[in-house]
Amino acid sequence: MSRPLLYMHLDKLEKAEMVPGDLELTGDGKAMKYFELAPFELRVTAGTIADALGRDYGHDLDMEEDGR
């Protein structure tokens, strides 16, 4: 991955508050930006997977029970 592409994605993640960045000056006056991953929680359920796939999960279960 190229450096410009990396920083473009880091900028988007920072704006989404997923990776806060901290700009610091080094001893020789160079600006360095440090990023860290913000705390998050990921919950995946059958319903969220079905939603992501655009399906009606309950309908799919009914079809399985009916043998269709």
Residue range 12-68, pLDDT digits in tens:
999 999 999 999 999 999 999 999 999 989 899 998 888 888 876 555 555 555 555
The number of C-alpha atoms within 13 Å of 3 and in the hemisphere containing its C-beta is: 0
Asked if 19 and 10 count as a contact pair (C-beta separation under 8 A), the reply is yes
The Cα 51–Cα 43 span in angstroms is 13
Domain boundaries, the chain: 1-37, 40-68
- This prediction's pTM: 0.55
Q: What is the pLDDT of residue 52?
A: 87
pLDDT of residue 56: 61
